[in-house]
Every structure is written in C-alpha cells, then in structure tokens.
Structure 1
Amino acid sequence: MHSQPFVNPRPQPTEAAGPIIVLGIGNVLWADEGFGVRCVELLQQRYAFAPHVQLVDGGTQGLYLISYVQSAERLLILDAIDYGLAPGTLRIIEDEEVPKFLGAKKMSLHQTGFQEVLQLAELTGHYPQRVVLVGCQPEELDDYGGSLRPAVKAALEPAIERACEVLCEWGAEPVPRSGTLAPDEAVTTEHLAITRYEAERPTEQDACRTGDARFFSHHG
C-alpha cells in the first residue's frame, strides 16, 4: 500500500505561511467512517511538516474541535462523505462550498457537529482564510469494529497525495519522515493504529458487528 514518497514539485509555497490545521474526522470503529482519521494517521507516519502545521485526529468530537478551527489560517479536512458516487471516489471541495457538502447528506452525528463548528467559527469572526475538504465516498458504515473496505482503503494513497499538494501550496513543507514515529507522538493511539486494529479484530461469533450486543439484549 506504500507508494513512493510525495516530492514537492514547487520549491516555494504559493501562499504565505500561517497556522495550518490538518483535521481527520470520523469514527474508526465503524468501517469506512474512519477514512479521514486513517488519512491523518498515514500522513503523520510518512511525513514531517513545518512547525506551524498541526495534524489532528478529530474523531467525533464535534464542538470540541472549535478551537482548532478558530486557530487555523488554513484548514484541511479529510472525511468520508456521501456524494452518492461509487465507493472510493474522491472529491475535493473548497472554501464556501465545504459546509454545504458536510450538511447535504449527513451520515452520522459527527458531520452534524462539525458543520456547526464551522458555523460557530464564522459567527465568532475566527474562520480560516482557506478551507479544503478531501472527501471519499464510503461503501460500508454499519460494521462495528470493521476497517476500511478495499475500495476506500485504495483511496488513501490518492487522498494523501492530494493533501500534500494542497499543503505544499500553503507552505506546510511536507518532507518524507526520516525516522520512525514515536508512539506517544502519534495522532491515533497505538491500539487503534490500522495495522494492529485490523489484525486483532475478533471473529463475528465473538463480537457483534452491528453494535454492542449487550445493549440490544437489554433494549430489544
């Protein structure tokens, strides 16, 4: 799955450097909904960035992400988005169009929450100068403990390639990481890193694939 490292074809950024937030949102516990978080995880494992760049696993935190949005001059969002297209299809949405796509077909509560984050940031007068959304069409969301489906997993490489292109234009200075990332530096916790997460998934007989069976037994 590892391709050749991204090499910036432009020696100079096209935009002035300022605080940059790279935000992966979604829930890795529900199959393709974890796409955005997996993108940020892979970006961090593969590249180092300039000091004014912060990579964030936003999970499903909703309004708790407001401080990140307010502090960013440039905001790059990676997420699974229901565009009504073939699974694994990527679309790049920019600036004022981003809130519209996040709110058009909400797949989960995290998208409702993040749309509100953007609206609140705008109301407070602390909204990024640039916002870019790299979104991938999911295939499967109703699979508790599942990982990315093959079509969506295959979209990780082109997604981070496009993310690096945007980040280069913004002056984020991505360069291939020379050493191994320390576990305490990782944006995702060690036990949820994709390799371990996929390897240690229990069987369908041992764990319910549509939620917590204990909940269903009490509320059925």
Structure 2
Amino acid sequence: MDSDKTILVLGIGNLLWADEGFGVRAAEEFDRRYDCGEAVTVMDGGTQGVYLLPHIQDCRTLILFDAIDYGLAPGTLKVIEDGNVPAFMGAKKMSLHQTGFQEVLASALLLGWEPERILLIGVQPEEIEDYGGSLRPVVAAAMDGALAVAVAELERLGVTVRPRQAATVDTSGLGPSPLDRRAYEDGRPSEDEAFRKGDIRVLAMLGEG
C-alpha cells in the first residue's frame, strides 16, 4: 500500500506498571474487536522509543493511545490533536516512555515527516507505582470510550471499520502471549508473594548506596 495513505494506530506504555500500560492495552483491544483492512496498521509500541521512528515516518495519520497525566480525575478521557501532540507530551512527562516518544516525534518531523493527522487519545491514570499490576477499574472503564474515539476518527477518514465476527483473545500479533491481558492478570501472584513497588533486589542496592 502507498505509504502516503497509511494509518498507524499505536499504543505506547509499560505494561509492568499498572495504568502506564493503558495505551498498549487499548491497541490490543482495538485489534481484538475491529478489522480495518490493509489501510490501518495496529501496533504495540511499548517503550521502544527511537525504534518506532521508521513506523512513524511511514504513516500519514497517527492515532495514539497512552496514559497521560492531565491533572484530572482518574479515568478521564481527553483527546489532543495535530500540532499540539508533540508539545503536550513534552509539557508534563509522566514516565520515561513519554520522554522517548516525544523525541521520536521531534526526530520524525526534523527528518521531513509531514503527517496529515495526529490524534492522541489519552486517559488519566490512577496508579502507576504498582509493579506487575494491571489497569485500575476506573481506567479500564475508559477503554470503550477511547476505542470509540479511534473508530469515529477512522470512519471520518473514510476507513471501513468492521467488528470482528468472533472476538479472539489471541493478540500475539501485537505482543508476547504471556503479556496478553487475561493471562497477565490471571497469573499475577498475590501481594504477599510478590513485591509491588519495583525489583526489591535493585531497591536494596540503591538503599545501600
């Protein structure tokens, strides 16, 4: 397909830190629910940073899911558009992945990327300090709204968005199957069995310093 017509639906974030994983979970869920044909590529961008640059450069429209600190109530959905997106992601960084992605956008623009459309669909997180945790209920509840925004934007762009005939939990095309949301949440050890504020070995070494 001509790269001038490509649309990238990208989820970024870190699944290991609770609501920080919202963007990736949203991309997974979008891919599970909808078929957009060859016009749209759906990708788990994780925390890859500069490695996403070729994919950004190859698209003309970027629809981005992420957990964003808007300073609003947890679970609040807010959409940022076009030229405001790079500036906004740099204004109030919540984590290292946002620093990295802001640099990716800046690099792409410096290298001549001329997007027709950028849409950031962000949700205010409730908790990002829970190592190994998944989405909090109030943030997970924002998922349908976030996906609806993406679907509406794609349809506005002339893309035919078809609900998949049978929902599937196989999202192996986006990420490793052990990180599938259901497997990840069902297999999580209890709080008594696993420390949830980071890797206790690393934190112990830092304390010694």
Fold shared per TM-score above 0.5: yes
User: Shift of residue 107 of structure 1?
Assistant: 0.7
Select between 163-172 and 151-160 the one with higher mean Cα deviation: 163-172
User: Shift of residue 172 of structure 1?
Assistant: 3.0
2:199 to 212, 215, 219: 212
| TM-score of the pair, normalised by structure 1 | 0.88
User: Shift of residue 181 of structure 1?
Assistant: 4.5
Q: 2: distance between equivalents of 1:206 and 1:216?
A: 17
1:60 to 47, 53, 58: 47
Structure 2 unaligned spans of 5+: none
Matched, 1:198 2:185: yes
RMSD in angstroms over aligned alpha carbons? 1.5
Q: 1: distance between equivalents of 2:171 and 2:124?
A: 31
- Contact 1:63 1:113 survives alignment (8 Å): yes
- % identical equivalent positions: 51
| TM-score of the pair, normalised by structure 2 | 0.93
1:96-124 alpha-carbon deviations (Å, 9 max, x no partner): 01112211110111101111111111111
1:54-113 alpha-carbon deviations (Å, 9 max, x no partner): 001000011111111100110000000001000000111110011122111101111011
User: Shift of residue 52 of structure 1?
Assistant: 2.3
The aligned counterpart of 1:174 is 161
User: Shift of residue 196 of structure 1?
Assistant: 1.3
Q: 2: distance between equivalents of 1:203 and 1:182?
A: 24
Matched, 1:48 2:26: no
Structure 1 unaligned spans of 5+: 1-16
Which runs of at least 4 in structure 1 moved beyond 6 Å after TM superposition? Answer: none
Spell out the pairing of 1:1-220 with structure 2 (5 A cutoff): 18-179=5-166, 181=168, 183=170, 185-220=172-207
